[in-house]
Structure 1
Amino acid sequence: MVQSTRMMNRGAVLAEVFRLAPASRKQIAEATGISTATVTRAVDSLIEEGLLLEGSEIVSENRGRRAVLLDVVAGRSYVLGIDLGASNTRIIVADLLANPILALDEPTPSDLNAPELAEWLATEVRSAAGSNWPLVGAVCLGLPGAVNRTNRSISNAHHLTQVEDSRFLQRFQAAVQKVVMIDNDANLALLGEQRFGAARTSPTAAILTLGTGLGAGIAIEGKVLQGERGLVGEFGQLPVGPLGTKLEHMLTGPGILRRAAEAGVELHSPAELFAENDKGGIETLRAHFDHALLIALTAITVSCEPNIIVLGGGIAKSLTSSLHRYESALEHNLRMSPRLLPAALGDFSGALGAVVASLHAVYSDLGMQQESLADLPVSQTLTPEAIRRVQGGRSAPRPFQPEPIIR
């Protein structure tokens, strides 16, 4: 019992330093309700472990006393957040305080088979971490499909089916030689927007991503819902169109182009659907899109009554000026409407959410209690501006030579 209490105090002190740093022992004691003597013992132990360091002195309490400020050794460990998409792959390397070290935005070589794609991704990840690779404490991978939490299988990844092959995850984990956490990319995008983006003020929120595929994530009271089989939020599977056409096929880029071709309307890109033009049939196509999007937004609203729905993905960028119309339609139909906001983190929402998940895993391994992780990391360094400053992506994927597959 003594050992358990000591470890709980240690975890509480560590979490508070991460929350307040730089901070004095007295500030930590006041914030945690733990005695100064107990805080001092925990701090001394954490300094010895190389987790904390003593910095500058400050005058405190108007009595001329000096207090030593404590800070986190941010470079003691690093994490990787990965968002593997059908079109692009985004990777962020961050330290213990969520300071971004490097960000990559690479075209995904979707023509590779499952083992080859895994090897390519492992090469990119290890290269991104560089000399810090031995210090990487956690890796989180966002995938465009439903993630089964029981057996870690992937389904419904229609635009990147290689990840459904069990060899993909096996080969990737073997190549990086680290435990890899996985989740649906929309779930991680919502986590990123709740910690650093548009949904920061809303514990109950949702995200709808519209791009090559359709994804959705739901959070209630700050917890992103996953489901045992990962099907929570898979609204794209709803059969809402003629002859059971799935919602995803009416709202995604490939779906828009396919429906335009069927209607005899020439569109060179999905973005043309939302531009002002006089192409014959465009108004009908846009009306069908708007109706399908309203179905998706209604389904999300009645499922959890979110205060905010964040819209992300390439197609969502074309909808910013129309969000008030969708809010009005929801208000008319449901007598209430969540706020509809564009993703504040842009294309890196999913990778940033994966960073948060990775950091939580590291924090837990360091002894912080689960209930203390909800507002961590508190750093505001993971902003789009900071990501741009450390971004080192290339315009084309590096040549990849797959290793022979042993059968």
Structure 2
Amino acid sequence: MNGNPTSRDHNKASVLDVVLSRAPLTRNELIATTGLSKATVSRAVEELRADGFVVDGALDEVTGRGRRSTYLDVPSSTGHVVGISFGIQSTAVLVADLRGREVHHVLVPTPHHLDVAKAAEWLVGLMKEVSGPAGGPLRQVVVAVPGRVRGGTEIFGSAEPAQVFGGSGLQRALADLVAAPVLLDSDANASLLGILTENSTLGNAVLFSLSSILSFASCTDHELVRGRTPAFGDIGVLSSGVGDQPLDGLMSTSGLLRFARGRGLDLERIDELWQRQHDEGSRAAVLDAFTTALVTAVSAVVVTLDPESVFLVGRLTPLVDEVLPEVRRRLTMSLPTVPEVEVATQELGLSVARGAVYASLGIARDRLREAVLEARRQGQQTERFAPAF
């Protein structure tokens, strides 16, 4: 017996891909999307129904002659995924089913953690709280953190309050507590993935996350770009063009707060810079430095990566909104072609968690597809091949 996947197995996997990403949908929509014949789709649907990955949903409300189509859907029993935004100020945990529908979420202040193991226990406690209404087993967890991440496990360049999480200790601690694969990613990657998922026309773009630290992400041909070394994405070390200040010293909340205090502004928190009245001269000097840093950062990525869009997110976006017209004016003066530069509309914390959910869904769906194709190799043949997932 040939143990390699057949065309029938690949057709089944393709049908599953479409159902997971687009359900609920009718058989006719499934046929049109996959380009497969009616008989092939019907056979694949019946096999997936027997596997427990497809169920009948509501009837198509379109009126007309003949029998109405039944929508195909993904049952909650197939499982769920979790996306976490583990920030310095706040933590968001979001649970979704394998179709991508949100089950529940929570957004809470982040305690100051001195111990990695206790922080992992706290995160798992939040996951259990939010996952209560979810059906089926937990399939994947992705945790987005404010820092650079390599290989889904190692954290580099965290903000000062999160230095304890440097290295791979957090990923290992979470993996020991959760009965599912756990991966880490940067908050910038999660933010950009969320934008990519919701805008299928976006090809090449970059994103700056201006929060506790300056984080950077980019995509080419709608795919996130990931580096091989810890230095990848560390744009914050570049000169800002303002004295000896690096970009992170002006485009992160902690860096800009220090800079503003050094210019004579009495600030306890950085948001007081745009929420309170200040000496106009001192505030103008801070805004000019911030504007220069933004222009420097955008110019650097434009000449090296040639993006069509530049997105700005994070806690400093209220200040970005204030200076963005001047940023665009300066870019027009210095660059032959200026991409779209905009503040992305986001829910602080939740949008990053949603991006982490999208990452979890992609991983879980790829694993399920591989399980369908591997079933034959594993010798699970009777009348069909049930994926071991």
- What's the TM-score once normalised by structure 2's chain length? 0.85
CA contact (8 A) 2:256 2:270 kept: yes
Q: Deviations over 1:157-200 (max 9, x none)?
A: 1331122143322212111232102111101110012213xx55
Distance 2:313 2:62 in 1: 46
Contact 1:54 1:68 in 2 (8 A): yes
| Distance change >3 Å, CA 95–CA 301, structure 1 → 2 | same
Aligned alpha-carbon RMSD (Å): 2.6
Query: Which of 333, 356, 367 matches 1:365?
Result: 367
Return the alpha-carbon distance in structure 1 between the equivalents of residues 254 and 33 of structure 2: 52
Aligned to 1:43: 45
Structure 2 counterpart of 1:227, one-letter code: G
Task: Note closer, same or farther for the CA distance 1:13–1:133 as it changes in structure 2 (3 Å cut).
Answer: closer
- How many angstroms does 1:294 deviate by? 1.1
Matched residue, 1:258: 258
Change (3 A) 1:234 1:356: same
Contact (CA 8 Å) 1:140, 1:181: kept in 2 or not?
A: yes
How far 1:259 moved relative to its partner? 1.6
Does the 8 A contact of 2:138 with 2:179 survive in 1?
A: no
Aligned to 2:323: 322
Map of 2:226 onto structure 1: 226
Residues 134-213 of structure 1 correspond to what in structure 2 (within 5 A)? Answer: 135-149=137-151, 152-159=153-160, 160-196=162-198, 201-213=201-213
Larger mean CA deviation between 87-96 and 323-332 belongs to: 323-332
8 Å contact from structure 1 (residues 317, 342) kept in 2: no
- Quote the residue 1:115 is aligned against: 117
Which residue of 2 is the match for residue 24 of structure 1?
26
Q: Please tell me the residue identity of whatever aligns with 2:232.
A: V
Secondary structure of the residue aligned to 1:226 is: coil
The Cα shift of 1:271 comes to: 3.0
- Work out whether residues 21 and 72 of structure 1, in 8 Å CA contact, stay in contact via their aligned partners in 2: yes
Assess, with a 3 A threshold, how the Cα gap between structure 1 residues 27 and 285 changes in structure 2: closer, same or farther: closer
Q: Which residue of 2 aligns with 1:284?
A: 285
1:306-362, Cα deviation, whole Å (9 max, x unpaired) = 222221111112322432321222122112222222222221221111100101111
Conservation of the 8 A alpha-carbon contact between 1:265 and 1:279: no
Match of 1:396 in 2: none
SS, match of residue 106 in structure 1: strand
CA distance in 1, matches of 2:115, 2:183: 22
The residue type paired with residue 245 of structure 1 is Q
* Corresponding residue number in structure 2 for 1:404: none
Which residue identity lines up with residue 218 of structure 1 in the other structure? S
Query: Could you tell me how far 1:139 is from its partner in structure 2?
Result: 0.5
Amino acid at match of 1:246: P
- The whole-number CA distance in structure 1 between the counterparts of 2:313 and 2:200 is 15
For residues 89 and 66 of structure 1, do their structure 2 counterparts lie closer, same or farther at Cα, with a shift above 3 Å needed? closer
In 1, Cα distance between equivalents of 2:61 and 2:224 = 43
What is the aligned counterpart of 1:88 among 90, 112, 117?
Answer: 90
State the match for 1:128 in structure 2. 130
Give the C-alpha shift of residue 59 in structure 1: 9.0
Once the two structures are superposed, residues 68-115 of structure 1 have per-residue CA deviations (whole angstroms, 9 ceiling, x without a partner) of 332222453111001111111111111122221212112112242222
Q: For 1:133 and 1:19, locate their aligned partners in 2 and report how far apart those are by CA, in whole Å.
A: 18
Corresponding position of 1:67: 69
Secondary structure at 1:281 match in 2? helix
Alpha-carbon distance between aligned partners in 1 of 2:24 and 2:261, rounded to the nearest angstrom: 59
Closer, same or farther in 2 for the Cα pair 1:274/1:336, shift >3 Å? Answer: farther
Distance 1:103 1:291 in 2: 38
Q: Give the 3-state SS of the residue equivalent to 2:268 in structure 1.
A: coil
Maintained 8 Å contact 1:77/1:137: yes
1:208 partner SS: strand
Alignment check: 8 A CA contact 2:204 2:308 kept: yes
Structure 2 counterpart SS, 1:206:
strand
After TM superposition, the structure 1 = structure 2 runs for residues 322-361 of structure 1, keeping only pairs within 5 Å, are 322-347=323-348, 348-361=350-363
Q: Matched residues in 2 for 1:230 and 1:165: separation? A: 11
- 2:385 aligned partner: none
Tell me the residue number matched to 2:214: 214
Q: For residue 311 of structure 2, what is the aligned residue in structure 1?
A: 310
Unaligned runs of 5+ in 2: 372-389
Tell me if structure 2 keeps the 8 A contact 1:274–1:319. Answer: no
* Change over 3 Å in CA distance of 1:242–1:288 after alignment to 2: closer
For residues 240-296 of structure 1, give each alpha carbon's deviation from its aligned partner in whole angstroms, at most 9, with x where no partner exists. Answer: 467753210122221122122223332233234346643442221221111111111
The residue identity in structure 2 corresponding to 1:113 is: D
Q: Is the 8 A contact 1:205 1:218 kept in 2?
A: yes
Q: Tell me, yes or no, if the aligned pair for 1:147 and 1:229 is still in contact at 8 Å.
A: no
Q: Contact 1:87/1:110 (CA < 8 Å) preserved in 2?
A: no
Between stretches 21-30 and 177-186, larger displacement belongs to: 21-30
1:117, 1:24 → 2: CA distance?
Answer: 45
SS at match of 1:118: helix
Residues 83 and 231 (structure 1), Cα distance of their counterparts in 2 relative to 1, 3 Å cut? farther
User: Does the CA-based 8 Å contact 1:12-1:368 persist in structure 2?
Assistant: no
Provide the C-alpha distance between the structure 1 equivalents of 2:30 and 2:136, rounded to a whole number of angstroms.
31
Unpaired runs of 5+ residues, structure 1, are 370-407
TM-score (norm 1): 0.82
Three-state SS of the structure 1 residue aligned to 2:107 is strand
- The structure with higher relative contact order (CA 8 Å, sep 6+) is 1
8 Å CA contact retained: 1:187, 1:217: yes
